[in-house]
Chain A
Amino acid sequence: MSFVCWLDGYDPAQRARLGGKNASLGEMLAAGLPVPPGFAVTVDAYHTVRGHPEVRQAVVGLLGEVDLADPAALEELSAAIRRRIEQVPLDDGVAAAVASAYTELCERCQLDAVPVAVRSSATSEDLPDASFAGEHDTYLWVRGADEVLAHLTRCWSSLFTARAIAYRRERGYDHDVVAMSVGIQKMVRPTASGVAFTLNPRDGDRSQVAVEAAWGFGEGIVSGEVTPDSFLVDKVLGEIVQRIISDKAVEYRLGDGDRVERVEVDEARRTVPSLTDDQVKAVARLARRAERHYRCPQDVEWALDADLPGDQAVTLLQARPETVWSRKAARPVAAAGDPMASIVATLLSPLHTRGSSDTPGP
């Protein structure tokens, strides 16, 4: 039994012990996708707590008494169970393994008290619909081994949020149908970040990668507050075929106390491209690798990590399938057939021969 598993040593056979989120991070690393380094605290660690008599008793006892139709009562129940989980003493073996892995992560990143994300990664092999994506807790900017351990137990206890309890009850699932692995992953302090699509969102062209980028954290882009710089990269030639640099008036960056704050961008930097051409190409290559790995168009979140050397700074935060164009049924453009008929058609119909003709002008 091991309590800790490094993400870059991921073994698919271990999937059930790491949960979906960690497993997917492990897969990405194995595929050469540069996600931030980290390790998983396996479900074995969770079971040391879940199996603790006090916790067991709390779950069985309390659940029996509560009227789940009463929201206030449900909240109270959830809080009680979560308190119990967070308060039982942590297994020595778990504490030692996690603290030592955290120390190693600090060494790998060459940073003291490296800030990490502590992320729930629920296992639910048998119940694909019972993992409650986003329902479980994630803690950002956690620093130091003690804090990591404290947030680890909070992640575990998030299996018993009011909604999770209600959901399982509704479906008639046992409360042990889901277990919790936790991912401990380096936080990225981005100089710039953004999104990338492995197709041209304007016309669905699969030969292009669209990259959007702005200074600092991606919040501004996601909320629409910042008009990002926009690039189009040809996948095959690897060249930037379109470049629109925007006026980026605000950025989100890390302030004192690891708080993300909104600041005005200095006049001098506002209309400067937030990525160099080489960085744009690196983001596009990363998105393309993700697409090849998942075998379908991807919608990718990425960041340039200020802690990493320039040529390795592009980091993948998240990749998910692109949905808008991918849902459309693939329709063939033209059939192989009589080449002469096709040539006649070409001569007869107006040609759209200029690639840039439909790109927005200045």
Chain B
Amino acid sequence: MADRFPSPFEIQTPAGAEGWQELYTYSLPFSTDRREYEDSMFWFQDGVHWPEVLSPWDATFFEFALASLSQYNTRHYLIPPALGVDFRVLNGYAYLSPVGVADPAEIEARVPQFLERAGFYFQNWASLYEQWMGKIRSLIGEMEALSFEPLPDAEDLAVVTEGRGMGSGFELQRQYHRLVDLALQLWQYHFEFLNLGYAAYLDFFGFCKQAFPSIPDLAIAKMVAGVEVDLFQPDEELKKLARLAVASRVDGAFDQPSAAAVMEGLRASEDGRAWLSQWEASAQPWFNFSAGSGFYHTDEVWLEHLEIPFGFVRDYIAKLREGVDISRPIEAIRAERDRIVAEYGELLATDEDRAAFEQKLGLARVVFPYVENHNFYVEHWSHSVLWRKMRQLGGVLAKEGFFGGETDIFLLKRDEVPEALWDYYSAWAVGVKPRGPAYWGRELERRRGILTALRSWSPPPALGRPPEVVTEPFTIMLWGITGESVKQWLGAGDAGGDGILRGFAASPGVAEGPARVIFSADQIGEIQAGEILVAPLTAPSWAPIFGKIGATVTDVGGMMAHAAIVCREYGLPAVTGTAFGTKTIKTGQRIRVDGNQGTVTILES
């Protein structure tokens, strides 16, 4: 087995992708300018959040997220052993490298500052979290208020009569700058609590592992997990709507296959219109829910792709017609959680341990609502708004002939958009034709070719020399990467051949069934009842299909992958982070998923 992954400098550019580096901020690609440093680090591909090639504008959230995460560790809370997580793009794919504090004296020196700063957050968590909820909602309000309109032939008379002294072209550029600022602000908010939340969770986790060396990770997760979580709310809203459809007898409308036909059917009756107004009420904010991770402009949002939520409503209606109870047994879930906590508590050896257990669990539960809920507000709701606004801007430029369609704007880097807007504005101001249509028409063609070439390349899971053991807490928690997974990646080329894939035992139970390998939300419709879902990763918004499948296998993610949480909620076995699930397993193969041991066995080929 090899003891290291290829150096980033050994990786070749795929044919046809020459010049890909220009598609990203100059600091993103590996470069000989920093070769010594970059070669000394261990980099892993972040398949949890960015499993696919980043288009130039989509790299924005990647950069904002990683810089914000890092900033809190390094500069706000001074996490004693951890600086930030460095980030690069190689052949279009996202790579990360956690940076530790090497000097023990410096670690020591950071401790008192961490105690004071992080301590303040832990002590005032509830009020700070409430404040956060206010901040994020007002931020989303500002995002919603952004508007991108084509520049008028003549300014409104009011611009003159009110003596405003500035015009639409200026406003258009300002709105874009505002959008970028709001996006960075969003990511600042995202990490205000997250790392501290995970630190408190890890403290409880470590205690449980010491007290019960063989305790399954998921038992710990179950003790901390909230019962009513915002991430489950979109699914709850769908169930509510399905019940309403059946109760008010408009469920027949869902017998139509297309979303447009369903809408038409509903609009035709009084009850149907009442149902639609309830739909509107649920949709904001709950259907700002991405069918993907929310990190790609191509991720489909329920609100804009009604066939997705309508399909789920249709499934729920079918269950209701069969007399199936589709509600979440909240009381039973709560009782089960209390039972688990009480029983582990009883099994502790001393009263002192019981006191520590309760204290740590208490803190973990105080911080966990943020860990569980932030994802809906940031990656789903806010990103949905930002993608929508960006498409609106793309539409404006497309109308002017810069682009073939509104989504072409994502082929521009975020700092190229102001140049295009300048071109549009200045030509409009002068009253002549912009260069944009010719310039971008040519350039985007080239970029599409590069991205296509990059997409056909398969990124290695990691680069450089791995550490002996992975000890960096956030790497383990957020990305599910351990010494074991690194070893597994290294050994992958050696073809173990025992037909067994290993990953995280993310949700308990054992199930056998035919596999269904899918790569994106578009393929959700292919899944048949009783099949085992095999996917690179699953999004929380796929929740309704968990009522139908037998188990889940993912390539990436750990215990805290959003999908792992949903699987535990649905009581389905899940193995996450198998690295090669979608590459190894074929649709139709019978597989056995052991969510207790984290293994997936291919039973027949």
Contact = CB atoms under 8 A, between A and B. Distances in A.
A262 to B, nearest CB: 32
Interface stretch (B131-139, B278-286, B342-350, B402-410): B342-350
A76 B292 CA distance: 88
B244 interface: no
B214 A346 contact: no
Interface string A196-236: 00001011111110000000000000000000000010111
A241 B216 CA distance: 7
A243 B483 CA distance: 22
Given A207-B214, A344-B80, A240 B596 contact: yes
B160 interface: no
A242 B215 CA distance: 11
B205 interface: yes
A309 interface: no
B19 interface: no
Interface of A is mostly: loop
Contacts of A334: 207, 210, 353, 356
B510 A277 contact: yes
Interface of B: 79-82, 107, 111, 114-115, 118-119, 122, 199-200, 202-203, 205-207, 209-219, 222, 339-340, 343-344, 347-350, 352-353, 355-356, 358-360, 363, 469, 471, 473, 476-477, 482-484, 498, 500, 504-505, 508-510, 594, 596-598
Contacts of B199: 343, 346-347
Contact of A344 (B115, B218, B484, B500): B115
A355 B215 contact: yes
A352 interface: yes
Interface size class of A (residues with CB under 8 A): 35 or more
Nearest to B339: A236
B593 to A, nearest CB: 13
Given A200-B213, A336-B355, 8 more contacts: A207-B212, A207-B215, A235-B343, A236-B339, A237-B219, A241-B596, A333-B207, A353-B205
B38 to A, nearest CB: 25
Interface string A319-362: 00000000000111111110111111011111111111110001
A239 interface: yes
Contacts of B353: 332-334
A362 B476 CA distance: 24
Contacts of A348: 80-81, 107
B498 A362 contact: yes
Contacts of B350: 330-332
A204 to B, nearest CB: 8
Contact of B476 (A208, A235, A337, A351): A351
A335 B597 contact: no
Contact of A347 (B82, B504, B510): B82
B411 to A, nearest CB: 40
Contacts of A206: 212, 347-349
Contact of A333 (B356, B359, B504): B356
B352 A336 contact: yes
B121 to A, nearest CB: 11
A239 B596 contact: yes
Interface in A267-285: 277
A182 B216 CA distance: 45
Nearest to A328: B349
Nearest to A346: B203
Contact of A236 (B207, B211, B343, B471): B343
B598 A234 contact: no
10 contacts: A208-B212, A234-B216, A241-B216, A243-B594, A333-B349, A335-B352, A336-B352, A339-B200, A340-B122, A347-B202
A243 B592 CA distance: 14
B214 A355 contact: yes
A5 B314 CA distance: 64
Nearest to B349: A330
B216 A239 contact: yes
Given A343-B200, A356-B597, A357-B484, A234 B349 contact: no
B356 to A, nearest CB: 4
A308 to B, nearest CB: 25
Contacts of B355: 335-336
A94 B160 CA distance: 120
A208 B115 contact: no
A362 B509 contact: no
